[in-house]
Structure 1
Amino acid sequence: MSRFGEWTTVDGLPAFQCGAVEIAWDPMLDPPSTTHWVHLGNRRITLVAGTDGLSSIWDEHTACLWLASHTGISRLNDQPLTGPPLFGPTYSRVSGPGVVRTVLCPEGESPWVLIRVDVQTAEPVTLSEEWEVSPRLVNLEFPAPWDTEPLETPQVMLEHLGGSLVSATSGPLKTEVPLPPGSHTVWFRFGLDDGPADPSIYAASLASLQERLPAWPAELQWHVALLTGGACADGVLGGHTLNQGSAYSFRHGFNGAARDPLQHALPLVYIEPDLALSVLRNTCAWGSPDGDLPYALDGRKQPWTSLFRPSDQNLWALWLAAEYASATNDYESFTVPVPYHPIHNAEPVPLQENLRRQFRFFVDEIGLGEGGHVRILNADWNDLAITESGVDRDVMISRGSSVLNSAMAAWVLPVYATLASRLGDETTASEARSLASDLRTRVAAEWNGRWFRRAHAPGNVVGDDTLWLEVQPWAILSGAATPTQSRALLGTIDELCRTDSPLGARVRPPNGPIWFSINMTLIWAAAKYDPDLAWNEWQRMTLAAHTAAYPEIWSGTLSGPDAYLPPEDPRPGQTWAMPDLGVAMQAHPIANLHSHSQPLLAYLRLQGLEP
């Protein structure tokens, strides 16, 4: 149904065969283009493969760094190999008469792509492989770069395996291979040199990929591959990060918020638990010894705290830790030390202690505000909650509170308490359960007869006359809503937020955006009281649903942003943009890991998997 091509199966794995159609799109911050991309990766490198057959290479090992942009081509006797590509879960492939070229991200942490060129020729030919090295740091560009410090440019190589190797810090790289008549398979690799490579890694990688992807429907396999392909081994903090990507990282140059890699790792607890643990450890290492997590890391992996100061981030770390322990029974990992960000010059502590300090920070430093709810600071989950609340900003920051974070904490803290208890910390476990009980009671009092209120400030209530979706599922999940209230609330959400919206519930009726991370919790909450609604909402979250509703929009075909615009918007099915502020998800509206992790987590919840 897509105007861009069709899904197929190659070697037992899902793949997308692009067609020849060219459909222009507007990034809002950059010139319009007819080239579209998909992000494919291993646990180190990202191949950004274009519908024009060219590629970009991204490496976040020590910084948000493009190694090469819009390059990479094979030629036979100077004739370029072009044509609509086939995108597999970890590779891009272009075919022409007598030649097939595959660019693969090999399994593991190889910092390079492997290039296989199969040639069948009746006469002698010269095969050339050509790439352009163009390193570029992306660091808080809104639209100007945050800093202009010189980049320590890496040496990038192009190697003909078994033949020559050329390298450069910038500029063109080319290698030529003369071929006699016959059938040939020629191997190259492009990227950072980490030692010798063997072409056998190609078949081994595809076999490993087939083995590690769960035996689920094709779209879910695709989500797993692209989610895990977004991981990168962290050369500064250790472990792996799962940057939410999209415009945040690839266009604007930061990894944030801290809650996002934690959120992305949740479904991996049941799929690739070692990666989930690695992400937990890495994100905990962002923090400071007092238990605070910065909003984000900038393009140089330094804590960035100057914009948003949310009050929910510790909850996500406690949640992921508890879910990991519940699913794996691996309690030994909580005794292994985790570092703090080098900026703090602090000694590592066991993961258990890192989490305990995060709990203490949540209780003692974030604390409670108006109405006894968790303080909102200058944001909670919603970065614009204060701006849109209509309450004085300074008053809201100093004394305002978030019913959303109270409801979330009322669910998270008991599961964390179970983990703390099993690790022998009964004092923390008891305090966590007591605080959760108190918050649950306070959230229950926010029912206004149709929905739960959103926030409080002195002399002001937010969300009494307007439904804010993000708090509602957590009220159900935490037990603050009675069964009768839960069923009535889901009916109200169906009526106000879901009507005539093919991609799912609007975050605020009548015309709010549609957020993957919020609709995941809606599906989870609805599963107990209205399974039909839950499954229908999950189906609206799929790539298939977006393609059916908006077949001429690339975003949503193979990957997506963090949020879609609703049908009432002038750009329905696309994503948000604030060009006057120099920021736009529309500038890079694919490869946001919410679009892959949240359908997976919602699916697992629908199967009954939760801590």
Structure 2
Amino acid sequence: MSSFGEWTLLHGLPAFSYTMDQERDPRALWDPILDPPTRRHVVHLGNRRITLVADNFGRCDLFDEHTGLRWLTRGTGVSRIGELSTAGSTAERLFGPTFAVVRVADERVSLERTVLCPEGEQPWVLIRLWVRNLTGEPVRLALTEEWETRPADVRLISGPVPAADPGLELELVGGERTRSGRLAVTLDLETETIVEFRYGLLTEGTAGFEGAAGFEESLGKLVARLPRAHAVRAPEAEREIPWHAALLTGGACADGVLGGHTLDQGSCYSFRHGFNGAARDPLQHALPLVYTEPDLALSVLRNTCAWGSPDGDLPYALRPDKSPWTDLFRPSDQNLWTLWLGVEYLAATGDVRAFGEDVPYHPVHAAEAVPLGENLRRQFRFFADVVGRGEHGHVRMLNADWNDLAISMSGVPREEMIEHGESVLNSAMAAWVLPRYAALAERLGDHATGAEARELGEELRDLVAGEWNGRWFRRAYGPGAVVGEVDLWLEVQPWAILCGAASPVQARGLLERIEDTAAAGSPLGARVRWPAAPGADGAIWYAINMTLVWAAAAHAPELGWAWWRRMSLAAHAAAYPDVWEGTLSGPDAYLPPESVRPGRTWDLVALGVAMQAYPVANLHAHAQPLLAYLRLLGVEPDISGALRIGGGASFESRVLSVGAALHGGRPA
């Protein structure tokens, strides 16, 4: 059980009751490494525009990514009635999927304060105060609502700096509106009453959210859109699947520059270091949304395609002002993720029309928009012609593949690896993606591209099959060097199984070997390297453990379910009850049990970068368990581009229903 509190239900939804007295309990203190130690613990909630950062002191931050990476305010939002205040460690605090609740009381009155991100794209929060008279006699009370505007733009790497006020306002619903951040209301209270405020960018519209009906309607819509799950082999799925879906979509933001919605990694990358990257990440995060909110998945696909240039290239990341950031990494895998999300979306929805609608390129290129299908074709061409293949026939690495540090970890001189390095990982991933993209291209009438993609995928699959060394698949090639001959690099192994390069016997044996080596003694999943390397080189990455669970689904389902449970929030709370990250959200990777900070996350202090500086609200912590669960149920595009659905546990959303019986699924 977590030292910080326990799970409960509120409004029929999973919620966490935070019970720790963080001002007195020594376990509350933690070290962000790049910043001073703190007792503040946060969770990120949101709608499709605003991010609410609720903390254990009963206060809030607001973050908006509409035109850049901007903190609207930090550590504010307090309701007061006389001496009674919602700020502090003695209040009852609850965190829900899109709302935070604080309850306080004295001898005269009780106050329940809910801060809610309304469903939709509202750039403000609704504050609902439920005040009850405990005296039995009518009383007159002075109620105040206080917010302090503290805007800050997040600078690249260095962090937030003060910025101009974007026009934040506080409004008494049905009454006064102010820029001062403080409103007072006199209450003549007999038994109880509800008072509502709004705070945020109110000039962008508040229609449709008036009074108690708006609050209840928003909660009703939330209940309706969150998926439901039940798995005998993983009972925590019933709570965690809707929770992950809510926190994943709460990371979305309508993009006022490129259109669509961004769904970036968050955590230290956005909130501390000021970039949206890598391009592969929003594409990964959107994959499970295909089966819960496909319109948002498509919007993220279109948005990420709009990062790119007309030659089909995607920048590594976007700077705080949403301009392309290309001078750090130039990975060789990013186009594959775009093609994969397009494949997944079409297989699940059959929405061919979406691929005929224009998508812009980044404004810096001053290029004409093209249909989404053409954008994907150009990305395939860039992958095939510009990324290309190396001496051994594998996909070139450039200066990174999925692993941003693959070159520095390879033991091969950097410039030689950039010029001549080859990624078996990217070959294996491409061998799965390209035949399915071929089916998409053919469905759009482009048979020549389809035939080429299918042939390339088959060639790469055969090459990957040749990398089996009797224990595992090799990782990469450099000039005169083989990477992954004597040590196991986890990231390539699941893709080698998924693309068909491993025989069933090899696949089963490899999965069992991973359980006995990279996953041995690890309560949170398999390490990315074995024998374990120090720091991030030996960490437990959500993105890689997802593919591992997926690969096990067909060949060793008992391992797949066991590994999925290790990805759960429940597993982290059981293994590391005194560590806040992993309780409600988490980073992109955890340090293994043999590390100096087990259950926490990585840092690169020498470079001024640390996931530990902001170790929550990384969307991999929510997207990857969702997608892995669906893969355990057999939900995936097959090689013909059709959607395959199995069973073994249940999942139900507005667009997909999967029953526990095998082959029990159907699109809803």
TM-score by length of 1: 0.97
Pick one of 31, 42, 54 that aligns with 2:59. 54
% identity of equivalent residues: 63
Pick one of 194, 208, 232 that aligns with 1:185. 194
CA distance in 1, matches of 2:73, 2:486: 51
Give yes or no for contact 2:122–2:206 (8 Å, CA) kept in 1.
Answer: no
Equivalent position of 2:225 in the other structure: 212
Pick one of 525, 539, 548 that aligns with 1:513. 539
Equivalent position of 1:125 in the other structure: 141
Matching of residue 483 in structure 1 with residue 504 in structure 2: yes
Matching of residue 544 in structure 1 with residue 560 in structure 2: no
What is the CA distance between 1:100 and its match in structure 2? 0.5
Q: Deviation per CA, 1:278-336, whole angstroms, max 9, x where unpaired?
A: 10000000000000000000111110011011000000000000010000001000000
Equivalent position of 1:25 in the other structure: 30
Alignment of 1:141-220 (within 5 A): 141=157, 143=158, 151=163, 153-167=165-179, 173-182=181-190, 183-193=192-202, 194-197=204-207, 198-199=210-211, 200-216=213-229, 217-220=238-241
What is the CA distance between 1:144 and its match in structure 2? 6.3
Give yes or no for contact 1:257–1:296 (8 Å, CA) kept in 2.
Answer: yes
What is the CA distance between 1:494 and its match in structure 2? 1.1
What is the CA distance between 1:152 and its match in structure 2? 5.5
Matching of residue 9 in structure 1 with residue 9 in structure 2: yes
Give yes or no for contact 1:520–1:602 (8 Å, CA) kept in 2.
Answer: yes
Equivalent position of 1:346 in the other structure: 367
Give yes or no for contact 1:280–1:317 (8 Å, CA) kept in 2.
Answer: yes
Q: Structure 1 runs of 4+ off > 3 angstroms? A: 150-153
Matching of residue 499 in structure 1 with residue 520 in structure 2: yes
Matching of residue 280 in structure 1 with residue 293 in structure 2: no
Taking a change above 3 Å as real, the CA distance of residues 153 and 427 of structure 1, as seen in their structure-2 partners, is: farther
Alignment of 1:65-76 (within 5 A): 65-76=70-81
Give yes or no for contact 2:111–2:132 (8 Å, CA) kept in 1.
Answer: yes
Give yes or no for contact 1:3–1:21 (8 Å, CA) kept in 2.
Answer: no
- The residue identity in structure 2 corresponding to 1:254 is F
What is the CA distance between 1:490 and its match in structure 2? 1.0
- The residue identity in structure 2 corresponding to 1:526 is A
What is the CA distance between 1:21 and its match in structure 2? 3.0
- The residue identity in structure 2 corresponding to 1:344 is H
Matching of residue 555 in structure 1 with residue 581 in structure 2: yes
Equivalent position of 1:81 in the other structure: 86
Alignment of 1:34-433 (within 5 A): 34-82=39-87, 83-97=91-105, 98-121=110-133, 122-141=138-157, 143=158, 151=163, 153-167=165-179, 173-182=181-190, 183-193=192-202, 194-197=204-207, 198-199=210-211, 200-216=213-229, 217-433=238-454
- The residue identity in structure 2 corresponding to 1:100 is E
Q: Secondary structure at the match of 2:228?
A: coil
Gapped regions of structure 1 (runs ≥ 5): none
What is the CA distance between 1:79 and its match in structure 2? 3.4
CA distance in 1, matches of 2:365, 2:484: 39
Q: Deviation per CA, 1:260-291, whole angstroms, max 9, x where unpaired?
A: 00000000111111110010000000000000
- The residue identity in structure 2 corresponding to 1:21 is D
Give yes or no for contact 1:370–1:457 (8 Å, CA) kept in 2.
Answer: no
CA distance in 1, matches of 2:507, 2:175: 66
CA distance in 1, matches of 2:77, 2:608: 30
Give yes or no for contact 2:92–2:104 (8 Å, CA) kept in 1.
Answer: no
Q: Secondary structure at the match of 1:17?
A: strand
Give yes or no for contact 2:3–2:20 (8 Å, CA) kept in 1.
Answer: no
What is the CA distance between 1:241 and its match in structure 2? 0.8
CA distance in 2, matches of 1:11, 1:111: 23
- The residue identity in structure 2 corresponding to 1:391 is V
TM-score by length of 2: 0.89
Q: Deviation per CA, 1:115-154, whole angstroms, max 9, x where unpaired?
A: 001112341111100011011110212x367xx8x95641
Equivalent position of 1:524 in the other structure: 550
CA distance in 1, matches of 2:387, 2:226: 40
Give yes or no for contact 2:84–2:104 (8 Å, CA) kept in 1.
Answer: no
CA distance in 2, matches of 1:296, 1:402: 21
Q: Deviation per CA, 1:53-95, whole angstroms, max 9, x where unpaired?
A: 0000000000000000011100112532231410011000000
Q: Deviation per CA, 1:408-451, whole angstroms, max 9, x where unpaired?
A: 00000011011000000001000001101111111111111101
- The residue identity in structure 2 corresponding to 1:114 is L
What is the CA distance between 1:96 and its match in structure 2? 1.1
Gapped regions of structure 2 (runs ≥ 5): 23-27, 230-237, 533-537, 638-668
Q: Secondary structure at the match of 2:530?
A: coil
- The residue identity in structure 2 corresponding to 1:492 is R
Give yes or no for contact 2:159–2:273 (8 Å, CA) kept in 1.
Answer: no
Taking a change above 3 Å as real, the CA distance of residues 258 and 156 of structure 1, as seen in their structure-2 partners, is: same
CA distance in 2, matches of 1:81, 1:322: 48
CA distance in 2, matches of 1:389, 1:299: 31
CA distance in 1, matches of 2:165, 2:298: 31
Q: Deviation per CA, 1:484-509, whole angstroms, max 9, x where unpaired?
A: 21112112111111111000101102
Give yes or no for contact 1:370–1:456 (8 Å, CA) kept in 2.
Answer: no
CA distance in 2, matches of 1:564, 1:297: 25
- The residue identity in structure 1 corresponding to 2:621 is S
CA distance in 2, matches of 1:600, 1:320: 15
What is the CA distance between 1:543 and its match in structure 2? 0.2
